[in-house]
Amino acid sequence: MVLDKERILNHVMDKSKDFWKVKFVRASGHGWQHKDHGNSKAQLTFDVNKFFEIFDLDEKWDKFVDVVGKKNIHHDWTAVILENQEQRSAKMNEENVLKHLRHLLSEVLEEELERKETKVPKHQKKKRLDNKKHHSKKKEHRKKPDVS
């Protein structure tokens, strides 16, 4: 099945389609006085079931688990939880977590190219064998002379 990756990504990233929800929670960490002043940590919950049902992507499940990582997938396999608390601004953290989601989904939707089997050309084989012979002769000259 050929996927239109950009169309799917744009559809998923549209907030009105309800594939994901962002909530803001209190950032964790130590040492910063401003961490207790507001909820700046962005926590994104992505609906995995809806994504796979609408776009019929069952064959991509294994790749999805590999890319997203099992630690981010909710225990009942229905949601992915991504978090970002790099910035002091909640809006910037939200933008960062959405970029992260888009990047992960684009990796999942990436089509793997078929590898073409190739043969080593004859001239390359000959060159390699000639180099091996030359190296062997150099080593031969390093031997100690036989004095018997």
Specify the residue for token string 């590898």: 115
> What CATH number is associated with residue 77?
3.30.160.20
Per-residue confidence (pLDDT) for residue 32, from 0 to 100: 59
Per-residue confidence (pLDDT) for residue 36, from 0 to 100: 54
Per-residue confidence (pLDDT) for residue 1, from 0 to 100: 41
- Dist. CA 140–CA 136, nearest whole Å: 6
User: Residue 51: inside a domain, yes or no?
Assistant: yes
Provide the domain count of the chain: 1
Specify the residue for token string 């977590």: 97
Tell me which of 76 and 47 has the higher pLDDT: 47
Torsion angles phi and psi, residue 43, rounded to 5: -120, 115
User: pTM higher than 0.85 for the full model?
Assistant: no
Q: Which of 10-19, 61-70, 111-120 has the highest mean pLDDT?
A: 10-19
Residue pLDDT, tens place only, 1-38: 446 889 999 999 999 999 999 999 887 766 555 555 67
Boundaries of domain holding 25:
5-109
pLDDT interval class at 145 (50, 70, 90):
confident
Per-residue confidence (pLDDT) for residue 56, from 0 to 100: 87
User: Residue 147: inside a domain, yes or no?
Assistant: no
pLDDT interval class at 58 (50, 70, 90):
confident
pLDDT interval class at 115 (50, 70, 90):
confident
Half-sphere CA count of 55, side-chain side, radius 13 A: 26
User: Residue 98: inside a domain, yes or no?
Assistant: yes
When the pLDDT of each residue in the chain is averaged and rounded to a whole number, the result is 86
Contact 23, 36 (CB under 8 A): no
User: Residue 128: inside a domain, yes or no?
Assistant: no
Q: What's the Cα-to-Cα distance from 24 to each of 21, 33, 77, 83, rounded to whole Å?
A: 10, 18, 22, 10
